[in-house]
Chains A and B, each alone.
Chain A
Amino acid sequence: MAESTDRPVSLPRMVATLYGSRIRSQASFRTSFVADVLGQVLIVGTEFLELWVILAQVGVLGGMDLTQVAVVYGLGALAFGTADLFFGEIDGLSNLVRSGKLETLLVRPVPVLLQLSSLDLSLRRIGPIGVGLAMYVTALNLSGFAPGPAELLLAVVAPLAGAAVFGALLTMAGAMQFWLVDGREFANAFTYGGNYVATTPGAVFSLPLRAFFTFVIPATLVAYTPTLALLDLPGPALLPQWSGWLGLPAAAVLWLVAALLWRAGVRRYTGAGG
């Protein structure tokens, strides 16, 4: 033993143990893991190809050229992939409710959300994260990114804030299933729909849609507006360049709502009894 004193497992250690267990259990199926990762990479690649084909025809999409769109796309994919890694399977909550597995989580002294997040950590999502990160960094360089300290900070914070935004959205989608037993599809419309919006230049959307995906589901704040700020581009109506910095506050607000909704959901479950 490295430590001479016999201390209880610390909180960070406990969290690391939870996630570590999930990584090990997935590593035990190596072939299917590799196939899964490749499949996920292919999906991300195809989606970008779609944007590329569009741009090859029109040249400019929402006021952005191909490399600029690639920054948006890479940033969005990176943020969504990271959130999906931790909260991606939370939309399977209704299965846990139905099978009674949720009860075994409730009799443990650890928040259910943390248990679910570690239980469902899906390593195959490392594929989209890798592609997103590579695209983000490469496209930033190609588009002549000349950062001051503030821009550099934003370049690092934006993917994290975006991941937090999507994490909160996925958690809300999961929490809704305490009410809607078959609410998976309904919830996915917002999360995966949000992902689609986030990886697209926000200026292409009509004003009402843009407002919805900024003020209700802040998907445009994940990748599009940070890209405007990073590359010093003018924003369209409703989305000034400085709104690129709103990812973090938006994530904070969203997580507050998500936490309340989740708590209400658990309370609803203990009230109704599954």
Chain B
Amino acid sequence: MSTPEDVPAISLQDLSREYVVRTRRPGRLGRTRGVVRAVDGITLDVAAGESVGFVGANGAGKSTTIKMMTGILQPTGGGLRVLGRSPVPERRQLAREVGVVFGQRSQLWWDLPLRDSYGILAAMHRLTPAQHESRLARLVVGLDLSGFLDRPVRQLSLGQRMRGELAAALLHSPRLVILDEPTIGLDMVSKEGLRRFLRQDRAERGTTLFLTTHDMTDVERLCDRLVVVNSGTVAYDGALDGFREALGAPRELVVDLAEPRREISVPDGVTVMAVEADGIRHRIQFNGGEHKVPALLAHIGAQAEIADLTLGEPAIEDLVREIYARGR
């Protein structure tokens, strides 16, 4: 059953995908035929057990790549193997070993209690009753599903449903987990809950994780490796450690104090960019590699009471632009 460790979980060789787009011009009868290269020669090897954050701006080719990896879409150029299989011809066999979450579309049964979706999926994956029960028990505890397991899916909150979706994708204990924007629209607590369980599950089972997201924190918490795509090609591929620092893109912390203060002292290497609202709001920039937020907050908290705070991250688009600027 088990494939050798040296077979890469994902192997993309110069993978390309073109779409034919027909556009109607105003005032003309015919339609013009254009070709859009959504994915333009991506080469990528992901070893079994690795965890990859696959990021890029909207339209960079992330979803198209995932569709090709899951056998939903045929490449128009290059080749790919996923878990040693060719995705489109072996789509259903592959589905037994891959768990997918499409953040934007549900794969649960809307009118049925959440629990029933797992019964149906267990049947589809032909699990044994013992496999089904023990795995579901693990997921219920890990993702804290017990409070709404018997509620129809349509009545669940977004946070609850996404936990349910993740459990649905993991029920058959897949070797490869592909998550397409799993935390989209979730609040901080729900995001953290999902991430915590994904880390646990990966530590327990050694699964390969392939994740697309717009939230760099997802990548930082879950991935050892970062791949940035832009216009259908790989713009950056490397370890996550120090990625942001290497780019020199600083993080921004904005604190609102309970009492106004003209200035606060900050550790070396941290800059107060601006003091606003008569000393209530302080904008602070720091390097995420050298300084951690809790320590910074403790430092400031010792001087003044913090009423509120926000943490700004460099946007993915900014990072991609930075990568390109450096490449030149």
Contacts and interface: CB of A to CB of B under 8 A. Distances in A.
29 contacts: A6-B129, A6-B130, A7-B128, A8-B128, A9-B127, A17-B119, A17-B123, A21-B109, A21-B120, A24-B112, A24-B116, A25-B110, A25-B112, A26-B111, A29-B111, A100-B104, A103-B67, A103-B102, A106-B71, A106-B72, A106-B91, A108-B92, A108-B95, A109-B92, A109-B95, A109-B126, A270-B72, A271-B74, A273-B19
Interface of A: 1, 3, 6-9, 13-14, 17-18, 21, 24-26, 28-29, 99-101, 103-104, 106-111, 270-271, 273
Given A1-B129, A25-B112, A100-B105, A109 B96 contact: yes
Interface of B: 17, 19, 64, 67, 70-74, 88, 91-93, 95-96, 98, 100, 102, 104-107, 109-112, 116, 119-131, 152
A17 B120 contact: yes
B105 A103 contact: yes
A104 B106 contact: yes
B98 A107 contact: yes
A14 B119 CA distance: 10
A18 B109 CA distance: 11
A269 B161 CA distance: 28
Given A25-B111, A100-B105, A106-B72, 7 more contacts: A9-B128, A103-B67, A106-B70, A106-B91, A108-B121, A109-B92, A109-B93
Contacts of A270: 71-74, 88, 91
Contacts of A109: 92-93, 95-96, 124-126
A8 B128 CA distance: 4
B74 A28 contact: no
B71 A104 contact: no
Nearest to B96: A109
Given A103-B105, A104-B102, A270-B73, A21 B116 contact: yes
A219 to B, nearest CB: 34
Nearest to B124: A110
